[in-house]
Structure 1
Amino acid sequence: MPPQRQPGSALPSFYGETRDDGSTIERPTNTASTASPSTPIKDEPIQIPTTPASAHSNGARHRKWAMHRPTGTVQVDRNQRYNNAIGVVSQRRGNQGRHTVASSSSDSSSSSSSDSDSTRRRRHQRRREKRARLREIEQQQPLRIPWTQWMASETKNHFVAVVGEFIGTFLFLFFAFAGTGVANIGAGATSNNTTTAGDIAFNPTVELYIALSFGFSLMVNAWIFFRISGGLFNPAVTLALALVRAVHVGRAIFLFCAQVGGACFASYIVKVLFPTEFNVQTTLSPDTTLAQGVFIEAICTAELVFTIIMLAKEKHKATYIAPVGIGLALFIGELVAVYYTGGALNPARAFGPAAVTYNFTREHWIYWVGPFIGTLLAVGFYKMIKVLEYEMANPGQDGDVHNDPTQNPEHELAQVVQEREAEVQEIQEIQEELAAEIDKVDDVAEGQEGVLEGQRTVQHDQEKVVQEQIEVASQQAEVSQQQKEAAGQLAEIVEEVKDIKH
């Protein structure tokens, strides 16, 4: 049992403190103090309950505590004393027989004050919870630029794709142009705007270096940016993916502008940054005609575009390493086209250096017409084999059940394959049934032929019997005739005998 307060001593420290609901703990009084303010207050021993007290009238929640009683002393910390005091006050307010309650006016004011305090606490609690949720969201989500908060999700995605395409095109052509400039150092160039054999002597090492610069630059940067913008870096590729509906037309227009802008920016940076000659502009070699240049660009671009469609647009198990094949496709295209046309295979790649040097040659148009013709060739061939369901010609090459249309049950082509297999199986069953029916008919026909043969044999035997019967009948007729003749002769003899007797 806790120690008792002696008369005249100070009040316990927990009197006057504030409860959770906002009300103040008052010192309990007896009936005498209520009746007369001048009556001295009698101190009563405070009984601290060891079990939770019942809820008091203003709706405070139940409390539960435990008393720690070391040997010889009672050590109760401030929180326990606070909780025990609330229990004592609640118990005494509920016990009308032992203690008096406050007046009705004080009860109503205390209740309204408690209600307002409870409402205010709930409102503050909701605010704290909301702020905590916002902090959690901010910790989980990446930082966003403040002025992009108002942007719609689709608009923001287009913006990110355009920015990524601009930066990706810049990096791709920056390293490609810089590598081309390094390759042409000391190659005997007499002009600062060509990569073909027009102004430099033929050197396979230079051609190989230029092709490697373009191929590896495209491979690396496409691998970096294909998750951001698709890693196109080429208006011809953008047109191809728009035609096969892999890229929305609206986004394709913005990507086209970003690619041309990135090419111009890369050309300008390479021109002003490096001290070497800016000899990266594409021109035709002296022995290459305009028609030859157009079709060289078209065929090499078609190879590049078709590689991109089959490795990147058509999803399969090796899609994540598609940039390797795409870079190699550009590499072999550059090996073929660099000497004759400069190996643009990309309208933006030809436009950037021409815009920076203000030198648009008379054959500049072939670097737009040729790649776009190659794009149409690649897209046309792709659509043709797509209509013919090329996936079913040699299925299962990737070993990827999910992306193999003939193995993935959710794929439309897999459903077509299953339907056709069911039709073929049904046709085979019908053919087997027809074959069985034909066999039965053949057996019946053979049986009927046997019956007819037997009937013919019986008929032949019957004909023989009839012939024999006819012969017997004729013989019998002859015998009857002979008997008649004999009877006539006998009658004549009898007549003669009669005549002789007479």
Structure 2
Amino acid sequence: MASEFKKKAFWRAVIAEFLAMIMFVFISIGAALGISFPIPSPLNETNGRTQDIVKVSLAFGLAIATMAQSVGHISGAHLNPAVTLGCLLSCQISILKAIMYIIAQCLGAVVATAILSGITSSVEGNSFGLNSLSAGVSAGQGLGVEIMVTFQLVLCVVAVTDRRRHDISGSIPLAIGLSVALGHLIAIDYTGCGMNPARSFGSAVIAKNFQHHWIFWVGPMIGGAAAAIIYDFILAPRTSDLTDRLKVWTNGQVEEYELDGDDNARMEMKPK
């Protein structure tokens, strides 16, 4: 792990996750908060707008797709602790990188939400995109929703980034973005959709409200872990020895840092 810690490419990847997370949260939560601003009617009366679920879902999905296209070749563009956990369990990244990614993602989400808190300070009852259970939805039901929507997201991520596949001709970032949008279309009415624990964490910190916050960590992490394990060991089992694969947890992927001795080698977000 110590050798990986010294690699420039390692820190570039961590910084990329931090900056991309700032942009992702700013765009997506900004779209959600923007619908709270009153707009003048033709009669110059002030009317409020109800939440546009499609707009918010597309904002989340397109923001992820854009950031994945921008930094996917640098960090893999996880931008979600649940995705990072899935990649860790798939033996695609080291434990050290997983920890640093999650820290960078959480800090990026806090910074972006703090910026939005200043921009949307005039919004009455501003919750800064805080996730919460809808009326009539129990903690157990909310947990189930988060598990399921995150399961489909991480299953999509590990499937479309599987380097053994050569049948993918479309855009991988767009496929992942559509999966994120789909998850929001499903879950917004139940929990506000907390399939990204770091995103939920940023809102909770700025809003200073951690009620039911555990749901938005436990649910996505269970869903992400289950998707990675089921894909790797049941749907598309790998032939490589598990012991050799587990070495990635301590050393990282060889091709990320030591390809032809080049410290600038990058992990591409496309099948190989």
TM-score by length of 1: 0.42
Match in the other structure for 2:249: none
Matches of 1:328 and 1:152 in 2, distance apart? 33
Match in the other structure for 2:250: none
CA deviations 1:346-374 (Å, max 9, x no partner) are: 1101110111121111x111001100110
Distance 1:299 1:202, change over 3 A: farther
Match in the other structure for 1:386: 236
Q: Which structure has the greater CA radius of gyration?
A: 1
* Number of residue-to-residue matches in the alignment: 224
Matches of 2:175 and 2:37 in 1, distance apart? 29
What is the SS of the residue equivalent to 1:331? helix
Give the letter aligned to residue 328 of structure 1.
L
Give the letter aligned to residue 227 of structure 1.
H
Matches of 1:320 and 1:160 in 2, distance apart? 27
Matches of 2:103 and 2:5 in 1, distance apart? 21
The question of 1:285 aligning with 2:159 is answered: no
Runs of 4+ that moved beyond 4 A: 151-154
The question of 1:346 aligning with 2:192 is answered: no
Distance 1:254 1:323, change over 3 A: same
Per-residue deviation, 1:157: 1.1
Aligned match for 1:304, one of 143, 153, 157: 153
Aligned match for 2:178, one of 321, 324, 328: 328
Per-residue deviation, 1:224: 0.6
Match in the other structure for 2:104: 258
User: Does structure 2 retain, via aligned residues, the 8 Å contact 1:183–1:210?
Assistant: no
Per-residue deviation, 1:317: 4.9
Give the letter aligned to residue 69 of structure 2.
W
Unaligned runs of 5+ in 1: 1-150, 188-200, 390-502
The correspondence of residues 186-205 of structure 1 with structure 2, limited to 5 A, is: 186=38
Matches of 1:232 and 1:215 in 2, distance apart? 13
Give the letter aligned to residue 171 of structure 2.
I
The question of 1:295 aligning with 2:144 is answered: yes
Matches of 1:378 and 1:338 in 2, distance apart? 21
Distance 1:294 1:152, change over 3 A: closer
Per-residue deviation, 1:344: 1.3
The question of 1:173 aligning with 2:25 is answered: yes
Matches of 1:244 and 1:202 in 2, distance apart? 43
TM-score by length of 2: 0.76
The correspondence of residues 110-149 of structure 1 with structure 2, limited to 5 A, is: none
Match in the other structure for 1:183: 35
RMSD across aligned positions (CA)? 2.4
Match in the other structure for 1:156: 8
Aligned match for 2:54, one of 208, 220, 240: 208
Per-residue deviation, 1:316: 3.0
Matches of 1:243 and 1:388 in 2, distance apart? 13
Between the aligned residues of both structures, percent identity stands at: 30
Unaligned runs of 5+ in 2: 40-47, 240-272
Distance 1:347 1:153, change over 3 A: closer
Give the letter aligned to residue 302 of structure 1.
F
